[in-house]
Amino acid sequence: MEAINHIYLDYAATTPVDPEVVGVMTPYFSSNFGNASSLHSFGKEAKEAVERARMQVASLTHSPASEIIFTSSGTESNNTAVKGTALAMRRRGNHIITSAIEHSSVFEPILFMKELGFDATFIDVDHFGMVDPEDIRKAVTPKTILISVMHANNEFGTIQPIFEIGTIAREHDICCHVDMVQTFGHLPIDMSRLPVDLASFSAHKLYGPKGVGGLYARTGTKIHPIILGGHQENGRRASTHNVPGIVGFGKAAEIASLRMHEETASLKKFRDRLIEGLYKDMRPVQFNGHPAKRLPGNVHISVPGVPGDLMLSGLAQNGIACSAGSACSAGNTGSSRVLNALGISGDLAGNSLRFSLGRHTRPEDIDRVIDVLPAIVKELRDKKQGAAK
Ligand code: PLP
């Protein structure tokens, strides 16, 4: 029988819904079940709840509530940003600039737009996984209509210079989109200062429910709706509102704003403790991503010669859940496009693990990993050496 995981270190894949969030969502399933578009009292009640949540989400980004569009996910927000901008701006130009390390929900819509005749430049990253804004500047052409670069990478955690990238976009009057799915609710975001026009969020990465997302769209940003067939969200995204989900997203955003500062500080401490412990007892081990400009809870390692899936199952047998690369590409334990872009070769990419720490991580969880993983790696190395003899 498979061992039950007791230590969850995969918060970048998803987070448990906060009980307080569940509490505020519950009435909107069966008691206050109205359709937010209906004009009677049931509908009005639902609409008020949606608008309250919009304010909660907007407040976490320092933006007016009218600039938040509710969607079904980070994936939908990213699809809307890419396809919606391309369609709305197609008479002005057909060129999109992005990075080589974007999440598939940005990368694949861009490939799709290429098939439709758009042109795209994929900017390489350095060995820390960082985009150089000057490379973006050099890639701009008179036909560029969109620059899309993620805030922090979901696999190896590097935080990108989005202020500088947005500034370049502004200088050239180009729409700038940032995938903030891994940072919204975890790092401070101030849209009143950031030169960014579109940003994607997802509730389930910040202790909210799955299946709810947000797209920040600065007033005046031209974006063609992708989901058609209704007037919801001011005609920017059709479909009946997921009222309980949206209410939960709002509450999760409110809780995040209260806890972010304290949580970031403790996550950084745990992250650094894990890095130190693994470095001490498990060499050779490579730590991926930027050493300082990285998500507070992310540790991404490659262990030369030791397959990620074997380390993963060894950890699972010890009750520890983490991920090999990115959970979004689980099943794809082979070399990852994103790790390749970071300069991690096919084999080494398959020797990688991602730990993502979160709100319920305790110091003893970290100590347990430091205890268990070096022993698993030693055993796998010994086995391999034995087989080679
Ligand atoms: N963008 C990034 C950076 C992500 O990490 C993810 C999910 O892991 C997504 C987008 C997709 O978000 P969702 O799961 O809400 O579709």
pLDDT tens track for 166-215: 999 999 999 999 999 999 999 999 999 999 999 999 999 999 999 999 99
Cβ distance 167 to 310 under 8 Å?
Answer: no
pLDDT top residue among 92 and 384:
92
**Nearest residue to 308 via CA among 276, 293, 280, 286:** 286
Question: What is the pLDDT confidence band of residue 336, given thresholds at 50, 70 and 90?
Answer: confident
Confidence check: pLDDT of 326 > 90: no
**Residue that has been written with the tokens 């050493």 in this structure:** 291
CA–CA separation, 302 vs 351, rounded Å? 5
Q: How many CB atoms lie within 10 A of CB 17?
A: 18
State if residue 214 touches ligand 1 by the CB under 6 angstroms criterion. Answer: no
Domain-embedded: residue 1? no
pLDDT top residue among 296 and 347:
296
| pLDDT computed for residue 328 by the predictor | 43
State if residue 157 touches ligand 1 by the CB under 6 angstroms criterion. Answer: no
Question: What is the pLDDT confidence band of residue 388, given thresholds at 50, 70 and 90?
Answer: confident
Average pLDDT over residues 3-16: 88
Domain-embedded: residue 240? yes
Average pLDDT over residues 150-161: 97
Distance of CA 149 to the CA centre of its chain: 12
Indicate which CATH number applies to the domain containing 131.
Answer: 3.40.640.10
| pLDDT computed for residue 4 by the predictor | 59
Domain boundary, last residue among 255, 277, 309 = 255
Domain-embedded: residue 80? yes
Could you give the percent of the chain with pLDDT greater than 90? 92
Give Cβ neighbours of residue 127 (< 8 Å, ≥ 6 apart): 342, 343
Among 110, 150, 182, 187, which is best to mutate for testing ligand 1, by the most ligand atoms less than 8 A from CB? 182
Confidence check: pLDDT of 315 > 90: yes
Do 235 and 267 sit in the same domain of this protein?
no
Region of 203 on the Ramachandran plot (φ > 0 left; ψ -120 to 50 alpha; else beta): alpha
CA–CA separation, 288 vs 344, rounded Å? 9
- Helix-helix angle 41-61:243-282, to 10 degrees: 30
Confidence check: pLDDT of 102 > 80: yes
Containing structural domain, residue 105: 19-255
Do 98 and 228 sit in the same domain of this protein?
yes
Active site residues: 328
Confidence check: pLDDT of 1 > 70: no
| pLDDT computed for residue 333 by the predictor | 37
Predicted confidence (pLDDT) per residue in 107-116, tens digit: 999 999 999 9
Confidence check: pLDDT of 329 > 70: no
CA–CA separation, 17 vs 208, rounded Å? 5
Instruction: Please list the helix, strand and coil fractions of the chain in percent, rounded to the nearest 5, in that order.
Output: 45, 15, 40
Predicted confidence (pLDDT) per residue in 51-72, tens digit: 999 999 999 999 999 999 999 9
**Residue that has been written with the tokens 């496009």 in this structure:** 337
Do 250 and 326 sit in the same domain of this protein?
no
Average pLDDT over residues 85-97: 98
Strand partners, 7: 320
Predicted confidence (pLDDT) per residue in 136-152, tens digit: 999 999 999 999 999 99
State if residue 150 touches ligand 1 by the CB under 6 angstroms criterion. Answer: yes
Number of helical (H) and strand (E) elements in the chain, helices listed first? 13, 12
Cβ distance 237 to 71 under 8 Å?
Answer: yes
State the sign of the Cα–Cα–Cα–Cα dihedral 341, 342, 348, 349.
negative
Indicate which residue's Cα is closest to atom 14 of ligand 1: 74
Backbone angles phi, psi at 385, to 5 degrees: -65, -40
Q: How many CB atoms lie within 10 A of CB 356?
A: 29
Do 90 and 183 sit in the same domain of this protein?
yes
